[in-house]
Amino acid sequence: MPEEAGSRGLAAADRYYEDYGSRVRELKKQGKQIIGYLCALTPVEIIAAAGLVPFRIKGDVNEPITKADTEMETIVCPLVRSWFDMSLKGKYEFLDGIVIPHACDSISTTYNVWKNTLNLPYSHLINMPHSTDGPSLKFYKALLNTFRTSLSKFTGKEISDQSLNQAISLYNQNRAKVRELYELRKASPPLISGAEVAKLLIASVSMPVEEATLLIDSVIKEVKQRGGVLAAKPARIMVVGAEVDDVTFIDLIEDSGAWVVADDLCPGAREFFDDADVTADPIEGIAERYLRKIKCGRTFREKKGDYDDYLEERFGHIGRFIKDFKVDGVVLYIYKYCDPYGFDVPAMKSYIESVGAPVLYLEDEYSMSTIGRLRTRIQAFLEVLGSK
Amino acid sequence: MVYVAGIDIGSAFSKAVIMAENEIIAYEVMPSGGNYKLTAEQVIEEALTKAGLSLKDIAYTVATGYGAASASFSSETASDISCLARGVYYLFPAARTAIDIGGQFTRVLKLNNRGRATAFLLSEKCAAGSGRFLQVIARVLQIDLEDIGELSLKSKNRVSFNTGCAVFAESEAVSRIAEGAAKEDILAGLHRTLAAKIQTMVARLGIEPDCAVVGGGAKDIGLVKSIEEGLGCRLLLPEEPRIVAALGAALVAWEKVSKGG
């Protein structure tokens, strides 16, 4: 990260968020190769270990989806279509390649569209399985080894165990910093707003991991130094959903008289709370993290026992967040045609209500045009919380 | 005497209620049209004329609904849910569930014994779950919206519809007309389709008696009967179901004035 004044702290996070991709654009000029990827389920450790810079593709709720609609039907979720639309409109012209994990069907089944339309020097699909059992893990490890080989063919350099272990440890340091950041949200009122956290974390996946860690660390220091500057608000909200890579929705809640103090989102707690263990075969630790540790609706977790045991296995972490972050109410923010999260809604809602938190379920289209409709529902929800 | 006003600019109709403290003294309902700002001014003006008052006599005005922000003369805005809850509680203190069938959305609310919403659900952005559905069908059958309810009650042989989508239902209705089905049978079938959507929402939230039905859709007696049939209970129905949110907005205004002053 450049060392000049103002390259750290909240102001810098804001700038990297607003001018998304500005850091990798600089690195590209310095001769670095940039690999775009979709979704938190891409094993970025392997890309970094290959000496490449992983860059998360981001959408834009303010940009109407136009070009993407010529290649993707509207049954593809609006977030994926916005990502693709931004890519087609030249926003990510610096990319040398694209990596797509089989996160959900909207992502994996559009792989060929991404590959053939963007026509980048490198494209790869990691067809990861959907179950967490032994054979699935074994299969997934084989896929990760194929990915490792494919990347080393692209760079012409072998990816050593040592460089993988180094990347794992850099990413784990980064995740530990995010967890430290979340501690600042536990105070009442929180020391850092939900919008500030969202912008920082979104910015953090647009730059090399070491730089992201420094940026997060600088924000933690700045926030601790400024102390309790945020006003008291009547409600503490947790947002649960798939990927929210735009701050508009978080702003909307915070402008309506609440603080967003916790989340189960990407980029957010779901993405950063679990480390990859350093294992003898580094691929083992990576596979465990992405297939078994990240609790995304796209992964099916079979659990022996009754339905309550299943709910605890699948959503227990949400319950723990509600308790640890003293959450008053949970907003389920689900995009239209998001199959993994859409399918989960009834179970998720009943689980969250069973631990005592009221739930507002909102279905959205990843577009600014729906904001007015969402605002009245959020206001009504906050009033309901206030009248309890 | 202190006067307050509530105004509800909905997607289909705009309503204004004038209260002398907590008694309704006048109200007005008119189509929202294409200029919410103008409609907001007109609807409050009409209501004020009926009450023999002018805007300067009103101590506090609260606006709600889709176009609440267009009522620039209002003192503040409040959410549709909290206004509906207050309006329903004022009319039916024993109601614990309320269904509001609006032009744009159907809303289902749970109320506590103080008339506050404790949970709510809204239909998604889809005409099939809202009053808009009835407008579409009235146009296809070339009958007045107001006549739908009574006509549908004459049905002897209800047509069953396969779709829950307003656009497909429109074309399905057209096919049934071509097959010679009676208008009342088509209407009764469509009422069942809409009622089934609403019932699902009520079931998701959990019904607790008494249950009230309000909003423009509640003007359609055929629809109300169909929901009653589905839920297996009688619904409380206000004399003028369209003004309940505006009434609630006026009650918010009265709370402000009486507590603040």
Query: What confidence tens digit (pLDDT) does each residue in B169-204 have?
Result: 788 888 888 899 999 999 999 899 889 889 988 998
ipTM over 0.95: no
DSSP 3-state assignment of B239?
A: coil
What is the residue range of A40's domain? 22-163
DSSP state of A104: S
Instruction: Tell me whether residue A242 is exposed, middle or buried, using C-beta atoms within 10 angstroms of its C-beta: 0 to 12, 13 to 18, 19 or more.
Output: buried
> Domain check: are A115 and A246 in the same one?
no
DSSP string, B120-185: EEE--S-GGGSTHHHHHHHHHHT--GGGHHHHHHT-SS--------HHHHHHHHHHHHHTT--HHH
Contact, A213 vs A201, CB < 8 A? no
What local confidence, expressed as pLDDT, does residue A5 receive? 45
Query: What confidence tens digit (pLDDT) does each residue in A40-62 have?
Result: 999 999 999 999 999 999 999 98
Token code pair at residue B205 = 């939230």
DSSP 3-state assignment of A381?
A: helix
Q: Which of residues 326-385 of A touch B (CB under 8 A)?
A: 358, 363, 370, 373, 376-377, 379-381, 383-384
The number of domains in chain B is 2
Contact, B248 vs B84, CB < 8 A? yes
Last residue of a domain, one of A112, A131, A163: A163
Q: Compare CB distances from B117 to A363, A376, A384 and report the shortest one's residue.
A: A384
CATH assignment at residue A239:
3.40.50.11900
Token code pair at residue A65 = 């989806």
B82 part of contact set with chain A, CB < 8 Å: yes
B112 part of contact set with chain A, CB < 8 Å: yes
Read off the amino acid at residue A137: L
> Domain check: are A147 and A237 in the same one?
no
Rounded to whole angstroms, the Cα distance separating A58 from A73 reads 19
DSSP 3-state assignment of A364?
A: strand
Residue A61 lies inside a defined structural domain of this protein: yes
How many contiguous H segments (helices) and E segments (strands) does chain B have? Answer: 8, 9
> Domain check: are B125 and B177 in the same one?
yes
Last residue of a domain, one of A117, A145, A163: A163
B156 part of contact set with chain A, CB < 8 Å: no
Q: Which residue, chain included where needed, has tokens 């809409």?
A: B194
CA angle A236, A239, A242 (to 5 degrees): 170
> Domain check: are B87 and B118 in the same one?
no
CATH assignment at residue B133:
3.30.420.40
> Domain check: are B80 and B125 in the same one?
no
> Domain check: are B105 and B230 in the same one?
yes
CB contact under 8 A, A388 and B81: no
Residue A177 lies inside a defined structural domain of this protein: no
Residue A106 lies inside a defined structural domain of this protein: yes
The number of domains in chain A is 2
Rounded to whole angstroms, the Cα distance separating A36 from A308 reads 39
> Domain check: are B66 and B169 in the same one?
no
Last residue of a domain, one of A163, A198, A215: A163
Contact, A374 vs A364, CB < 8 A? yes
What is the residue range of B253's domain? 1-92+244-261
Q: What is the mean pLDDT of chain A?
A: 94
What local confidence, expressed as pLDDT, does residue A375 receive? 87
Is a pLDDT exceeding 50 seen at residue A14? yes
Residue A118 lies inside a defined structural domain of this protein: yes
> Domain check: are A249 and A131 in the same one?
no
Is a pLDDT exceeding 80 seen at residue A370? no
> Domain check: are A129 and A252 in the same one?
no
Residue A342 lies inside a defined structural domain of this protein: yes
Name the nearest CA neighbour of A254 among A227, A270, A231, A223: A231
What local confidence, expressed as pLDDT, does residue B78 receive? 92
Contact, A65 vs A73, CB < 8 A? no
Give the closest-approach CA distance of B106 to chain A in angstroms. 13
Across residues B221-244, what is the average pLDDT?
A: 95
Count of beta carbons in the 10 Å neighbourhood of residue A337: 20
CB contact under 8 A, A384 and B125: no
Contact list in B for residue A349 (CB cut-off 8 A) is none
Is a pLDDT exceeding 50 seen at residue A133? yes
Residue A92 lies inside a defined structural domain of this protein: yes
What local confidence, expressed as pLDDT, does residue A221 receive? 97
How confident is residue B127, by pLDDT bands cut at 50, 70 and 90?
low
CB contact under 8 A, B79 and A387: no
Calculated CA dihedral for residues B68, B73, B75, B80, nearest 10 degrees? -20
Across residues B213-221, what is the average pLDDT?
A: 94
> Domain check: are A152 and A268 in the same one?
no
Name the nearest CA neighbour of A126 among A287, A357, A366: A287
CB contact under 8 A, B80 and A376: yes
Query: What confidence tens digit (pLDDT) does each residue in A160-207 have?
Result: 999 999 999 999 999 999 999 999 999 999 999 999 999 999 999 999
b/e B8-41 (16+ beta carbons within 10 angstroms → b): bbbbbbbbbbbbeeeebbbbbbeebeeebeebbb
Rounded to whole angstroms, the Cα distance separating A191 from A187 reads 6
Q: Compare CB distances from A380 to B80, B112, B114 and report the shortest one's residue.
A: B80
Is a pLDDT exceeding 60 seen at residue B261? no
CB contact under 8 A, A380 and B117: yes
